[in-house]
Amino acid sequence: MYKQLDSEAIPPPPRRQYRPKLPVSIITTILFILGIQFVILPRYVYQMSPSEMRLTQFQLDALDEGLRKCQADRTPPIQYPVTTASSRSNARWNPSTGQNDTIILRNVTLFDGEKIVENAVDIVFKKGIIESVSDAAQSILIPGANVFDLEGKYVTPGLVDMHSHHLTNTWPLLSSTSDTNEMNPAFGPLTPFVRIVDSLKAYDYATTVIASGGVTTSLILPGSANIMGGEAVVVKNVLKSGDNEEFVVEELLLEHGEPVENRRRYMKMACGENPRRVYKHTRMGNAYIFRKQMERAKELKDKQDTWCLKAAALKENGNVAAISSFLDSASKDESATDYLEFDSSIAMLRGKVGINVHCYEPEDFEDMIKHSKEFGFRIQAFHHALSAWQVPEMIKASGENITIATFSEFGFYKKEAYEANLWAGKILSDHGVPIAYKSDHVEPETNAKYLLFQAATGHSFHVPELLALQSVTSVPAQSMQIDHRVGYARPGYDADLVVWDSHPLLVGATALQVYIDGKPTLDPKKVEESLSSVQVTSSKNLSAPIMRKTVSAEIKEELCSKVEKAGTKFTVTGIRNSYLEGHAAAAAASDSLTMVVDSGKILCFDSSSKCASMSADSPIITLENGHVLPGLTAVSAQLGLAEITTDSATSDGELKKTAGADPKHIVYAKYGVHLEGRGFARAKIGGVTRSITAPMSEGFTSGVSTGIKTSGKKTILNGGIFQDDVAVHFSIGQESKGTDSLPTISSEISTLREIIVENEKKDNIYGKAANGTIPLVVHADNEYDIMQLIKIKQEYPQLNLVIYGGYGSPLVAKELAEAKIPVILTANRGAPAAFEAKNSLPGPPLSRSPAAVLTEAGVKYALSIFGEAETSHIHNIPIEAGWAAKYAGLSAKQAVNLVSRNVEDIMGLDVEETKRDFVVWEGNPLEFGASVVLGVDGEDGMVSMCWPESN
Ligand SMILES: *[C@@H]1O[C@H](CO)[C@@H](O)[C@H](O)[C@H]1NC(C)=O
Ligand SMILES: *[C@@H]1O[C@H](CO)[C@@H](O)[C@H](O)[C@H]1NC(C)=O
Ligand SMILES: *[C@@H]1O[C@H](CO)[C@@H](O)[C@H](O)[C@H]1NC(C)=O
Ligand SMILES: *[C@@H]1O[C@H](CO)[C@@H](O)[C@H](O)[C@H]1NC(C)=O
Ligand SMILES: *[C@@H]1O[C@H](CO)[C@@H](O)[C@H](O)[C@H]1NC(C)=O
């Protein structure tokens, strides 16, 4: 939610205003001291007669109701028995629109929330509940049941995401439906009294997209602007599931059908930068404000408890006078609104509210744990928590079994996200700290649809297979204390089940069907269409993908010290595939290839026997499943220019929307790049050896991109910039629309036209773009904006026009192909989130993938990554290619080209095949779990990276 919080324009809140106390009658005092706001029936008001010595019916009722509330306050939320299916039902199920037939999923490979069941099973479910899971060999028979033979496919429980904001902020995103953070200054940084359920919109299309990724249950949280942000609520990701199939919020709730008083409650809180920035306090200010709130809550809780003790004693032994006087004299200090305001904080102290804290940094965890001890509440989970890996023992020592709900790779978007570590999941789980991957959904890059992708990434960085699967099923369910209903696929659990087309941790694992409360939610025709280009071979392999190979520091040191020397020779054996031109491409099934490299030149690339004579006396690197790829090229709006996205002290800066388009003031990235940082470390482990980096800009004009090397071994003085000026960049669309200058998209288009006409004959950088000497790259997502660009290209065919971004490009794919306009697609796994992208493709299993449509239309395209903190994802560039390849039916070579040769061609880089960077991998980089062994710089022949590491 950092995007929403970026605004520095949020006014500081006025001092907290205390409302004058309402005049309080005895009745309201008694009732409200108990936190009961709604049970008064008007007729009692007339019966009330405080002076009567006989207890009125009302007084008796008030005492009983009070005692009932005292009792309820002490009772934990109900856990339902789950031992047998018949012992419970799914309260969400209804007879008119709920699952109406008994379904058998036959011959399933089942991950049941804990483990992968040894033998294939048959799963029977009925009325939204799993009835039985039995050995498939027994072939269970139930007359009238609807049977689906899955032939051994994977089934998991519906995934559980413990951090999402969909429904509070609907797709397409509009400011008028952004109800996530209660930031009105009248309230200030403490809003525990608001409830996210009051913000939900039961028509959010994102819900359907999320469910299509297998995510069936989500904890919907208020945003993180406030120290206490309000109460959260758990939903199932299915719209119109009620009797009348209307958009009803109540029917979204996991606990729909359960009595309101039995439902679980959750509090969202936040530490660190957000409340600090929004309310202009320091961390010490934040701590005091929070402690003061809890102290007051404690005081009120004590008053409630005292009342309860006395009331119980009086009920047992008291005489009429004593009771009447007790009810009369009950505290008049607190008003109804006090109890409305403090109810959830008091409930926190009673252990009735699960506490979920947005908290990143070691000092913030420590402080919050200290507060939890001071006031006696338990923290259910720290969210985001990107530094938690630095202090697992401190977190464990709290004794609270705090879950770390985190991202597997997203980071660097602000200081408190700067310690993001790809190995965090492994480190935390090695220390026995429960981890749950979570989305933070509303933007495309936090799209909850791809929750499982995070578990898969975590797994590639050594989170064991079962823990990775648990991290998106049973762990979040346990953390949220809903593991009696969801997170497992066992008899008695809600029938939320996902059928996968492959092992769930493989690149591009797709849900073929998602059952929620027993009802199928995907349209099989659409699923089939979305997968129409997929070659089915891979889906038969039931094994988990491999994890990245690592080597000890000694082995690394020994190898790297040798090969990194100038003029060195080395031999690599065990290569199965190569994507370099002019050499052997693939090993025969029985053999593998050997490569001998001398001073960066490939002397021999053939069978081991043929290369044997040349490999003498050189260090030998022995691989099992070696792959050789060209060095990949990213197109970035950040790498080398910003270390921490939102901290300008770490970046070159960002061109404002008011920047003109005068060629005299044009910005050149080559003057601002630094060739180091954490983004570079991630680029290297992704085999990305070069980046075309454009200046950062909020508006229409961006400037001139430069070509840099990512090895970190070069500076800007000795060849780190391989090409000074690559392309001229502009941006057209809602994001870049200005306020004063270029306030409309139409004015952006006409300015672009003017720039072309006015500079066509001029000797400046715009002149080069106008006459097609260098590419004119325009960031555009909306299909109508792209059509405007097609018209420009039709009128000025000399232009070397490139679309960057391209959410809407599949919608005009034929026209782009005809106009010969290439696309650098950053919407590979995009989403119809922004209004201007509302027609863009959500991707399989709901639609074909963008890459499939572009491929079919014959558009020349490449892939890159764009967005907030894009450098934290940059190592996934080859994985994106693997993902695209699956749905577009591309060969591995074509996939590799999407992130290498196609980028070079489109951006006009002139790379000689013999001077190409190449990278040797262990494993297939189009799949999770491959690692870079070494990279060679094609220009100087030096080994530019050797077993690079991300941290
Ligand atoms: C069950 O529901 C499905 C879809 O919701 C519907 O097509 C079918 O006719 C229903 N069957 C019965 C027996 O009501
Ligand atoms: C389950 O499916 C697998 C793969 O198709 C098949 O080999 C096996 O015989 C099936 N088992 C049963 C019990 O049908
Ligand atoms: C800690 O929490 C995790 C996940 O919620 C759960 O699996 C584990 O059993 C808990 N451990 C203890 C000791 O309660
Ligand atoms: C199945 O996949 C695993 C992991 O990717 C791989 O190690 C194994 O060789 C594959 N097995 C087959 C038969 O392809
Ligand atoms: C394009 O414009 C640049 C800058 O004015 C000039 O140097 C170059 O010769 C022009 N090329 C063509 C093909 O007109």
pLDDT along the chain (951 residues), means of 10: 34 35 38 40 37 69 88 79 67 95 98 98 97 96 97 97 98 96 96 98 98 98 98 98 97 94 94 96 97 96 92 87 81 69 95 97 98 98 98 97 98 96 98 98 95 98 98 98 96 96 96 98 97 77 92 94 91 95 76 92 92 86 96 96 94 90 90 96 98 96 97 94 98 92 94 95 95 97 98 98 98 98 97 97 98 98 92 97 97 97 97 93 97 96 93 69
Burial class (CB in 10 A: 0-12, 13-18, 19+), 537: exposed
Please indicate whether residue 546, judged by its CB atom, sits closer than 6 Å to ligand 4.
yes
Query: Cα of 362 to ligand 3 centre, how many Å?
Result: 22
Interstrand relation of 688-693 and 706-709 (parallel, antiparallel or unpaired): antiparallel
Query: Cα of 524 to ligand 1 centre, how many Å?
Result: 15
**Residue nearest atom 4 of ligand 2, based on CA coordinates:** 151
Could you tell which of 219, 401, 429 is best to mutate to test the pocket of ligand 3, judged by most ligand atoms within 8 Å of the CB? Answer: 401
Contact 822, 786 (CB under 8 A): no
Residue 935 DSSP SS3: strand
* DSSP-assigned states of every residue in 467-524: HHHHTTTHHHHHHTT-TTTSS--STTSB--EEEESS-TTSTT--EEEEEETTEE-S-H
Atom of ligand 5 lying closest to residue 759 CA: 5
Contact 783, 808 (CB under 8 A): yes
Phi first, then psi: what are they for 163, rounded to 5°? -155, 95
pLDDT tens figures, 820-875 = 999 999 999 999 999 999 999 999 999 999 999 999 999 999 999 988 889 999 99
Could you tell which of 543, 922, 927, 931 is best to mutate to test the pocket of ligand 4, judged by most ligand atoms within 8 Å of the CB? Answer: 543
- Give 251's contacts (C-beta < 8 A, 6+ positions apart): 92, 202, 240, 241, 242
Please indicate whether residue 504, judged by its CB atom, sits closer than 6 Å to ligand 4.
no
Please indicate whether residue 152, judged by its CB atom, sits closer than 6 Å to ligand 2.
yes
Per-residue model confidence (pLDDT) at position 508: 95
Query: Cα of 926 to ligand 4 centre, how many Å?
Result: 14
Query: Cα of 489 to ligand 1 centre, how many Å?
Result: 24
Structure tokens at 565: 């020397």
Please indicate whether residue 763, judged by its CB atom, sits closer than 6 Å to ligand 5.
yes
Contact 108, 155 (CB under 8 A): yes
Please indicate whether residue 136, judged by its CB atom, sits closer than 6 Å to ligand 2.
yes
Query: Cα of 109 to ligand 2 centre, how many Å?
Result: 10
- Residue 787 to residues 291, 635, 781, 790, 807: CA-CA distances in angstroms? 57, 23, 11, 5, 13
Selection from 456, 479, 482 nearest residue 467 by Cα: 456
Query: Cα of 105 to ligand 2 centre, how many Å?
Result: 13
Per-residue model confidence (pLDDT) at position 315: 87
Contact 938, 923 (CB under 8 A): no
Burial class (CB in 10 A: 0-12, 13-18, 19+), 257: middle
| Through-space distance between the first and last CA atoms of the chain, rounded to whole angstroms | 26
Query: Cα of 100 to ligand 1 centre, how many Å?
Result: 6
**Residue nearest atom 11 of ligand 4, based on CA coordinates:** 541
- Give 476's contacts (C-beta < 8 A, 6+ positions apart): 160, 161, 162, 219, 403, 405, 436, 438, 487
Atom of ligand 2 lying closest to residue 139 CA: 13
**Residue nearest atom 4 of ligand 3, based on CA coordinates:** 475
Selection from 203, 215, 291, 310 nearest residue 247 by Cα: 203
Query: Cα of 403 to ligand 3 centre, how many Å?
Result: 8
Contact 168, 152 (CB under 8 A): no
Q: How many residues would you count in the chain?
A: 951
Per-residue model confidence (pLDDT) at position 339: 80
Question: Which residues of 138-227 form beta strands (DSSP E)?
Answer: 146-149, 154-157, 159-164, 215-220
- Residue 702 to residues 586, 662, 667, 696, 863: CA-CA distances in angstroms? 42, 12, 7, 6, 20
Please indicate whether residue 545, judged by its CB atom, sits closer than 6 Å to ligand 4.
yes
Residue 904 DSSP SS3: helix
Contact 446, 677 (CB under 8 A): no
Per-residue model confidence (pLDDT) at position 29: 44
**Residue nearest atom 8 of ligand 5, based on CA coordinates:** 768
Per-residue model confidence (pLDDT) at position 72: 87
**Residue nearest atom 7 of ligand 5, based on CA coordinates:** 763
Selection from 238, 129, 156 nearest residue 494 by Cα: 129
Q: Which ligand is nearest to the CA of 473?
A: 3
Please indicate whether residue 543, judged by its CB atom, sits closer than 6 Å to ligand 4.
yes
Angle between helix 336-349 and 26-33 (nearest 10): 20
Atom of ligand 4 lying closest to residue 929 CA: 5
Please indicate whether residue 372, judged by its CB atom, sits closer than 6 Å to ligand 2.
no
Please indicate whether residue 768, judged by its CB atom, sits closer than 6 Å to ligand 5.
yes
Adjacency order of strands within the sheet including 265-270 = 159-164, 215-220, 228-236, 265-270, 353-359, 379-384, 403-406, 435-437
| CB-side neighbour CA atoms (13 Å) of 755 | 27
Element housing 605 (H / E): strand 601-607
Selection from 52, 129, 63, 143 nearest residue 98 by Cα: 129
Q: Which ligand is nearest to the CA of 379?
A: 3
Could you tell which of 755, 756, 760, 763 is best to mutate to test the pocket of ligand 5, judged by most ligand atoms within 8 Å of the CB? Answer: 763
**Residue nearest atom 2 of ligand 5, based on CA coordinates:** 768
- Give 524's contacts (C-beta < 8 A, 6+ positions apart): 513
Structure tokens at 48: 């009330």
- Measured between alpha carbons, how far is 346 from 628 in angstroms, rounded to an integer? 61
Q: Is the dihedral of CA 551, 553, 558, 560 positive or negative?
A: positive
Element housing 429 (H / E): helix 424-430
Per-residue model confidence (pLDDT) at position 53: 55
- Measured between alpha carbons, how far is 634 from 323 in angstroms, rounded to an integer? 77
Please indicate whether residue 728, judged by its CB atom, sits closer than 6 Å to ligand 5.
no
**Residue nearest atom 13 of ligand 4, based on CA coordinates:** 541
Please identify which residue in the block is written with the tokens 């691989």. 623
Could you tell which of 160, 470, 478 is best to mutate to test the pocket of ligand 3, judged by most ligand atoms within 8 Å of the CB? Answer: 478
- Measured between alpha carbons, how far is 726 from 653 in angstroms, rounded to an integer? 20
Atom of ligand 5 lying closest to residue 763 CA: 5
Query: Cα of 97 to ligand 1 centre, how many Å?
Result: 8
912-915 long-range contacts (CB < 8 A, ≥24 apart) are 913/580, 913/581, 913/582, 914/938, 915/939
- Measured between alpha carbons, how far is 944 from 713 in angstroms, rounded to an integer? 7
Interstrand relation of 918-922 and 620-630 (parallel, antiparallel or unpaired): antiparallel
Query: Cα of 129 to ligand 2 centre, how many Å?
Result: 25
Atom of ligand 3 lying closest to residue 477 CA: 5
Please identify which residue in the block is written with the tokens 């809140």. 13
Contact 805, 782 (CB under 8 A): no
pTM: 0.93
- Measured between alpha carbons, how far is 249 from 220 in angstroms, rounded to an integer? 12
Query: Cα of 881 to ligand 4 centre, how many Å?
Result: 20
Could you tell which of 109, 502, 538, 541 is best to mutate to test the pocket of ligand 4, judged by most ligand atoms within 8 Å of the CB? Answer: 541
Could you tell which of 104, 105, 106, 107 is best to mutate to test the pocket of ligand 2, judged by most ligand atoms within 8 Å of the CB? Answer: 107
* DSSP-assigned states of every residue in 363-391: HHHHHHHHHHHHHT--EEEEEE-TTGGG-
Please indicate whether residue 438, judged by its CB atom, sits closer than 6 Å to ligand 5.
no
| CB-side neighbour CA atoms (13 Å) of 784 | 9
Please indicate whether residue 929, judged by its CB atom, sits closer than 6 Å to ligand 4.
no
**Residue nearest atom 14 of ligand 3, based on CA coordinates:** 401
Please indicate whether residue 120, judged by its CB atom, sits closer than 6 Å to ligand 2.
yes
Please indicate whether residue 137, judged by its CB atom, sits closer than 6 Å to ligand 2.
yes
**Helices and strands (H and E) in the chain: how many:** 27, 33
Query: Cα of 496 to ligand 4 centre, how many Å?
Result: 29
Selection from 709, 688, 578 nearest residue 948 by Cα: 688
Residue 692 DSSP SS3: strand
- Measured between alpha carbons, how far is 666 from 152 in angstroms, rounded to an integer? 59
**Residue nearest atom 12 of ligand 5, based on CA coordinates:** 771
Residues lining ligand 3, judged by CB closer than 6 Å? 401, 403, 434, 475, 478-479
Per-residue model confidence (pLDDT) at position 282: 97
Element housing 62 (H / E): helix 57-74
Element housing 123 (H / E): strand 121-126
304-307 long-range contacts (CB < 8 A, ≥24 apart) are 304/33, 304/34, 304/35, 304/70, 304/73, 304/346, 307/33, 307/34, 307/66, 307/70, 307/331
Query: Cα of 103 to ligand 1 centre, how many Å?
Result: 12
Per-residue model confidence (pLDDT) at position 58: 80
**Residue nearest atom 13 of ligand 3, based on CA coordinates:** 401
Q: Which ligand is nearest to the CA of 94?
A: 1
Per-residue model confidence (pLDDT) at position 41: 31
Interstrand relation of 519-520 and 632-636 (parallel, antiparallel or unpaired): unpaired
- Measured between alpha carbons, how far is 924 from 901 in angstroms, rounded to an integer? 18
- Measured between alpha carbons, how far is 623 from 641 in angstroms, rounded to an integer? 36
